[in-house]
Amino acid sequence: MTAGDTPAVRRRVWLLWWVAGLAYAVDLGSKVAVVARLEGRAAVPVLGSWMELRVQRNPGAALGIGHATTFVFTLIAVAVAVAVVRVSRRLTSTPWAVSLGLLLGGALGNLTDRVFRSPGGMQGAVVDFISVRDFSVMNLADWAITCGSVLAVLLAFRGRELGSAGPAALSETP
């Protein structure tokens, strides 16, 4: 039996997949709902004028950066998904499972838009709809990526290991 076959590792990997699946499903469901009900309509206030629901198609990255390089962001999302799956084989930490699950679910949510939304061909525009005044228009995949990233930074600063192989597991090849 290898370290990757222990029950503790399998439990954490299932947690990672569960969190990723939940983040992905909530993101996809929210995008389907807002496109069907809000696209082409006036913004809907949530917290006065500070936060509102407003559908916007974003071919770029956060804050509208890089709208001409959509294909690059698609490749980054694929790379993140592959990296998370590779790292998950050594995962024994519950907090890391949650962090990586959020990153994977968010990456897959935006990747789905890049692949299947117009104009297609891995250059689709992401559906953003949570507008925060004087900041950005985002979606729930973006929130999952942000929360997963913040948690990963906190875990790394606290020296929390990903798994039994420790931080070196990130750089090992199978």
Q: What is the pLDDT of residue 167?
A: 41
Q: What is the pLDDT of residues 112-132, one digit of tens each?
A: 998 888 876 767 788 999 999
Please pick, among 5, 27, 113, 142, the residue that the annotation labels catalytic. Answer: 142
3-state secondary structure the chain: CCHHHCHHHHHHHHHHHHHHHHHHHHHHHHHHHHHHHHCCCCCEEEECCCEEEEEEEECCCHHHCCCCCHHHHHHHHHHHHHHHHHHHCCCCCHHHHHHHHHHHHHHHHHHHHHHHCCCCCCCCCEEEEEEECCCEEECHHHHHHHHHHHHHHHHHHCCCCCCCCHHHHHCCCC
Provide mean pLDDT across the span 5-12.
66
Query: Does the annotation count 128 as an active-site position?
Result: yes
Distance CA 42, CA 162 (A): 45
pLDDT exceeds cutoff 80 at 170: no
Question: pTM higher than 0.75 for the full model?
Answer: yes
Active-site hit among 5, 27, 113, 128: 128
Please determine, for residue 111, whether its predicted confidence score (pLDDT) is greater than 70.
yes
pLDDT at 69 over 90: no
In whole numbers, what is the pLDDT of the chain averaged over residues?
Answer: 83
Q: Is the pLDDT of residue 63 over 90?
A: no
Is it the case that residue 172 has pLDDT exceeding 70? Answer: no
User: Is 113 one of the catalytic residues?
Assistant: no
Contacts of 36 (CB under 8 A, 6+ apart): none
